[in-house]
Every structure is written in C-alpha cells, then in structure tokens.
Chain A
Amino acid sequence: MTTSTYIAGRGFLYWFDARAKLLTVVLLCVLVFLPMRQLGLWVLVGVAFLCAWRATDFKQALQPLRTILFVLIIMVLFTPLTYRDGEFILFIGQFPFITREALVQVNTLIARFLGITYVCSLYVWTTPMADINLAFRWYGLSYQAALVLTLAFRFIPFIADAFRMIQDSHALRNAVRIEGETGKRQRLLDVVPTVTAALVFALKSIPYLAMTLEHRGLGSSVKRTSYRKLHAKGGIFTHVLLSVMIAAVFFLVFITI
C-alpha cells in the first residue's frame, strides 16, 4: 500500500534540497495568488512544464494537464457565465457568452490552477517520500503528523494503482471478440464498477495499514531515530537562498503592483 509518486530522473531538481524545494513550492503557490501579470503566470506554467519534461519525459510531463483537464473544461464553460460585466466579445446566437474581463479571468484561473498543479507535481515527482517526511519535520511538524501527510501522499496513488490493476482485470472480463463492439458509452459505464472495486479495495486495506504501522512500532514511547538524513550540497543556506531567489525573480519581473 505504498505507491510512491517519486520518479527517478536527472536534473537540478533532484539535487535541490527537499526543505528548500518545499519552501519554493509554498512561495510559488502564494505568488500565483498575488496580482501577477498573466504572462508571468504562463511563464511559470511553461517553466514548470519544461522542468517536468526534463526530469521525466514528455508523456509524463503531460500527466498533470490530463488529470485536471476535466476541471479546466468546466472552468472554461462556466466562468464566463459568472462574469457578465464589460464588453462582450463572443455571442452564441443571440446570447452574449463572454466578456473581455471574463476571458482574462478564465485565463488567470487556468494559469493559476495549472501552475500550482505543476509545481506540486514536480515536488513529489523529484523528492523521495522519506525526504518529504524529513522536510516536514525540519519545519517543526511532529513525526506523527509528518507520517500522516506522507501516508496520505502515498495512499492516493495507491488507490490509483489499485484502480489501474482493477481496470486491467475488468478489461479482461469485459473484452469481446468482435472489434468495435465496445463503444465509448460502454467504457464510461464500466468506470462505475471499476471505481467501486478500487474503493472497496482501498477501504479494506486501511486496517492492515494501521495494523502494520503499530506492529512496526508506531505508538511506542521509545524515541525514534532516523535512517535518512537530508544533505544539502553546499549547505542548506545556499539552497534556501536559491529557493527565495526563484520566487523573488518571478515576483519582481511579473508583479503588477
């Protein structure tokens, strides 16, 4: 029940210290909610995408986009309906669909959402889960709280992994010998039993996860030691400085205040 989000790769993100990287993630996530120029937001998305591509591969780099695509489509469709002020620039028949201001709003929302998704994905892709745990603890989180957070990070992909295995199993059960017999509608309908099975599977695994944690000593009054230690090449100060500089560059170049 421990699927990792970590993907082995090469590049500066892999030697960038987990603590400094976490600080960068937080700073960039805050930054996208400040009044930044839209170009700045898209530069951030673009840089994050290129980093993801460099760290993994093109297909994997597209994964966050694919994951949130449905939400993005909903944003594009419904946000214009909530911003009705200003100059209408698109009509559907007689119906005024979108104003210039709404277009700006949609653009900003999408860029923010994509930016945050890519920045967070990059962090968990390029940082081993044990290092994320240590980074949380370095910032003062208790061991138990850090463990809960990292387990949550692991449990979600675990469900995704179980989902894929169950999907495979159902694909084999559902397969028919005549090509074209399974339409898209049928595939959509088949998602329901697959999701049900994945949820049942995940729920059933919870007591075993808790059982194993306690069997391996979680809850004991003995002071825990640590197998892993975080090492920042050149010192943690350099890494934190780099982290702050990345956020500062975006802030100074693209902020509109």
Chain B
Amino acid sequence: MKHMLEISTLSFAYQGYGEGVSNHPVLRDVTLSVAEGAKVLVLGVPDSGKSTLARILCALVPRYLAGEVAGSILLKGTEVLQMNPWDLLGRCTLVAQNPQEQLLMTTCGDEVAFPLESLGFAHEKLILEVDAALQKWGLLPLKEVNPQELSGGERKRLLLAVTEAIDAPLWIMDEPFDDLDEQWRDILLKKIQNRNGTVVVFASRYLDEFRGTFDQYCLLTEGNIITDTEEIIVEQFEQASEIQFPLAPKTLKTISHRLSCNQLTIVHPRRSVISNEPFTLHVPEFTVEAGEIVALVGPNGSGKSTLSRVLCGLDLALEGSVSLDGSTLSAKALQATVGYLFQNPDYGIFLPTVRDELGWSLRRIPRLSSKRKKEIVQSCADLFHLQLADNPTMMGYGARKQLQAAVYYILDRPFVIIDELDSGVTYAAAFEIVSLLRSRGAGIVIITHDRTFARNLAERQYKIVEGNVEETEVGA
C-alpha cells in the first residue's frame, strides 16, 4: 500500500513568552500513516491541537508561529519539515477553520485565480478553471464581489472552491463543515467521498452525516493521535467532549420582557458590485420572550447576521421597527437592551487580563463598591471557568468565546444574540454558556447551522427562506 502521508513521532510546542515561561506542548509523539486516496477523519475537542497539526502538515508552522518541532512528516516520501510552503502548492492544500485568515484578494474570482497564477496556468485555462470552481460552489454570480462582503458560509465555500481549483492530491481541511448550511455540507461530503485524492478532515464535532463516510477514524487527544474503528473513536470522542444535553435551567428572574419586530424590511447593498436588486430581507413578525431560547436558521448568506445587527441597534431597517414590550426603541436603546456575541470573539476583547476585561464591563454601573466589583468579577470567572490573570490574546479560541459570553453575563442584557456559538466550542461548553446567560432571565437568539444543536436547545425557531423570515418547527 502506498502512503500519501507518514507522520512519525511528531512533537510540537509553541514558544512560551516571558521570563520563566516554558514552551507549551501541543503535540506529543504523533504517529499516523495515511494511504493514498484515503479519507481520514481526525476528531478532537477544541484547542486539542488540530489547527496546529494541520498547519505543520503544510509547512506553515513553526515558520510563522514560533515553536519547537521534532519528528518527521513524509508527503509521498518528501520531508515536509524541510520544505517551503510554496513548494507544497499543487501537492497539498489547507482549508483553514477561520476563512478570514486565508482570504487575500478583493474579488472572489481573483481569490480562486491567485494560486493558479502561482502554478503558471495559461490565461485561457485560468478563466475556465476559476469559473468552473466558482460554479461548483454556487459562487459564480458573486465572482466580482469582495470576499469581505460574503457571509461566513459563503467565505468557507470560496476557500473550498480555491481548494477544488488547485486540485492537489492531498486536501487538509480544518473544520470544513463549520459555517456551511446543510445543503453545502452534503455537497462537501459527497465531494470528499467521490474524490480520487487523499483527504484529511479535522473536526471538533461528529456530525450524523459522517457515519460511514471515512476510511480511517482518529482521535487527537492529549497531544497524541489514536486510530481505531469508527464506533470506538466516536465513543471516546463523545466522552472527551462531554456531549450531553441536560434540560436548560429555569430562569431565576421573573421580569417578563418581549422583544418584537413587525413588518421589518432590511436592505443591505454590496459596495463592490452594482445591483439593481440589493439584498433585501423581510421580517413580517419576529418575537423573543425573556428567558426563551429561539433559534435563527437559514442557508449561507440568507441574512441571519444582517437581521441580528438590526435587532441590536447596530444597523437600521429601511422600514418597520423593533420594540420592547410594545414600545419602539431607538438604535441606542436597542444597543443597551440586546447583546450580540459576534462569531469572532476577538472583536470584543482588548484588555491584557481576564480580570480587566470583566471589570471593564462594570465600570458604567454606578454606586458599586470596588470590593463588590471584585466579587462579581471573581464569581463570573469561576462560572465560566476562566482564570483572572490569564491574557485573553494567548487563550484558546473556546476560552475566548467563554470570556466573550462572561462579559455579557456581567452586563446582564435582557436579550442576547449568539452567532454560531457551536463552532469552536464543544456542545457541552456551548450549552453551559447558553444556560448561564439564560439563568439571568435573558431571552436568547442562537444563530446556528447545526440542527442537532438547535433541536436540543431552542424552544422556537425562525427560518430565513428566500429573503423572508418565518417561524418553523424547531430543527426543520
């Protein structure tokens, strides 16, 4: 059997910064062989080292994120650790977990074309390949659109289009199913299954659709990779990620609020292309009660984030209004009423320690003694499993998401919108965050593509279908 990839006793530790700080080991003696044409699923809880391993396989780490590496990685017999990233173009392609990291160009067409230009494709072939790749991922009408104007799922599809256009023998995909709606998840799975080349998928969630899809199942745990049958790996993974869906606790507050919008029309034009029909969203009716969990679902680019920004007063609707208990609220009042946990936690985190970050939220509350403030900050940190002295920039993605939620817990907003909480954190952690926010009586809107997550948490659901928001059965 020919091997595409042979990883032998690979260890890696990120460089620690500061006096007396030791290097943080991420991988310990990882050994894995991947046959040519094999489809491999590597499961691992968030922050288990999946992204680091994916980048090492593409010779990007430790080149750009300093650390100590030992061991060997052979890609069809060639040592990857001694290669430059550009030498691997055409041999292996990485789809990063966060698409924002990999977007370089200012139109979707140019994004797909960039690596093909590096491979020396002739102009005529370039045009054909770019159009074909965009067509396969439903992005051809958006060819001249700036990737920054795409939704999270559309950006992920753009990266998949780039990967497909390069058509390297080895695809390394870090959480490729995150952000994708069901239709595109199915398409991606079929592409993986039908591909002649080798695919290594790193995932922190085991989706029902994965059953029987892959040839090899692995678990990345405590810095090492275990390979076994699908049943055993999934069982071990579920134990490691504490997957459970206990009933949400009853709300402690009895204050009843109702956030509602009536006959809302939202228009969101793109800057990079002229369109006679700019993106328009109609919301005939949308309500959330205090203490209620409502799912907001819809295909990629359907306008979930657009609606959320209007609900929390960051953008204005063209027509209609948002009201609290029947009274129309101004944008400023909405900002103080509806919290919004952005998909990217880094937008809201900026202070050097968790203590500062949580304390900053309390500075606007008058007549609160410093002793009381310290107590609140400490208890909040305990609830969200945070260390007050930790530096948020150095914390893992999941921990940063928890800090972001802790900030809103302290702010005690009557309503909170949570955008794609389930990506980057375990189900258990996501559930805990929602439960904690709800325990203060907040009405919660969760934006998700994961039907399992929605089904187990939400009491009601709104779905965006072709520019219209309508209430549907939960999980539909």
Instruction: Report the bound CA distance from A176 to B148 in whole Å.
Output: 31
User: In the complex, what's the smallest C-beta–C-beta distance from B414 to chain A, in angstroms?
Assistant: 10
The number of residues on chain B lying at the interface, defined by a beta carbon within 8 Å of a beta carbon of chain A, is 71
For residue A166, which residues in chain B have a CB less than 8 angstroms away from its CB?
A: 347-348, 350
* Interface 1/0 per residue, A180-217 and B, CB below 8 Å: 01000000000001101100110011011111111111
A79 at the interface (CB under 8 A from B): no
Neighbouring B residues of A200 by C-beta, 8 Å: 350, 393
Q: Is A129 an interface residue (CB 8 A)?
A: yes
The distance from the CB of A219 to the nearest CB of chain B, in whole angstroms, is 4
Pick from A9, A128, A172, A193: contact of B340, CB below 8 A. A172
Interfacial chain B residues near A13, Cβ < 8 Å: none
Q: How far is the CA of A175 from the CA of B340 in the complex (A)?
A: 12
Instruction: With A6-B272, A227-B127 as known contacts, state yes or no: A173 contacts B411, CB within 8 Å.
Output: yes
Cα A82 to Cα B349 in complex, Å, equals 44
Chain A residue contacts of B121, Cβ below 8 A:
225
Question: Given A165-B347, A225-B117, A227-B116, do A175 and B332 touch, yes or no (CB 8 Å)?
Answer: yes
A215 with B58, Cβ < 8 A, contacts A3-B146, A207-B64 known: yes
Question: What bracket does the count of chain A residues touching chain B fall in?
Answer: 35 or more
How far does the alpha carbon of A8 sit from the alpha carbon of B149 in the complex, in Å?
A: 13
Q: Per-position contact with A for B302-319: 1 when CB-CB < 8 Å, else 0?
A: 000000010011100000
B348 engages A220 (CB within 8 Å): no
Interface code B48-62, partner A: CB below 8 Å = 1, 0 otherwise?
000000010010100
Say whether A218 faces chain B, with CB atoms less than 8 Å apart: yes
**B274-304 contact mask (Cβ, 8 Å, vs A): 1 or 0:** 1000000000000000000000000000000
Contact A225 B123 (CB under 8 A): yes
- The answer to whether B109 and A227 touch across the interface, beta carbons within 8 angstroms, is yes
- The answer to whether A177 and B347 touch (CB under 8 A), given A129-B106, A227-B116, is no
Residues of B359-414 at the interface with A, using a CB-CB cut-off of 8 Å, are 360-361, 364, 393, 407, 411
Q: Do the beta carbons of B120 and A2 come within 8 Å of each other?
A: no
Closest residue of chain B to A151 (Cβ to Cβ) is B104
B351 at the interface (CB under 8 A from A): yes
Please tell me if A231 contacts chain B, counting CB pairs below 8 Å: no
A172 and B86 contacting across the interface, CB-CB below 8 Å: no
A63 at the interface (CB under 8 A from B): no
A233 on the B face (CB < 8 A)? no
Within 8 Å of chain B (Cβ to Cβ): is A84?
A: no
Is B232 in the interface zone, CB < 8 Å from A? no
The residues of A that contact B68 with a CB separation of less than 8 Å are none
A7 to B393 CA separation, bound complex (whole angstroms)? 34
| Interface contact B350-A197, CB-CB below 8 Å | yes
Give the CA-CA distance A6 to B411 in the complex, in Å. Answer: 38
Contact partners of A179 in chain B: CB under 8 A = 332-333
State whether the Cβ of B211 lies closer than 8 Å to any Cβ in chain A.
no
- CB of A8 within 8 A of CB of B346, answer no
CB of B346 to closest CB in A, whole Å: 6
Known A214-B85, A224-B118; judge A193-B146 contact (CB<8 A): no
| Cα distance, A6 to B145, chains bound together (Å) | 10
Min CB–CB distance B196 → chain A (angstroms) = 22
Query: In the assembled complex, which residues on chain A have CB atoms less than 8 Å from the CB atom of B314?
Result: 168, 171-172
Seen from chain A, the residues whose Cβ lies within 8 Å of a Cβ on chain B are 1-4, 6-10, 128-130, 154, 161-162, 165-166, 168-177, 179, 181, 193-194, 196-197, 200-201, 204-205, 207-220, 222-229
Beyond known contacts A173-B361, A201-B347: 13 more, CB 8 A cutoff: A1-B101, A3-B106, A6-B271, A130-B107, A161-B148, A169-B340, A172-B339, A176-B364, A194-B350, A201-B346, A214-B63, A223-B120, A227-B123
14 A/B residue pairs, CB under 8 Å, sorted by A: A8-B270, A165-B347, A168-B314, A173-B348, A177-B333, A193-B360, A197-B347, A211-B55, A212-B104, A215-B102, A219-B86, A222-B120, A227-B113, A227-B126
| The 10 residue pairs across chains A and B that have the minimum distance between CB atoms | A217-B118, A197-B350, A227-B113, A4-B106, A175-B336, A175-B335, A214-B85, A169-B348, A220-B86, A217-B89
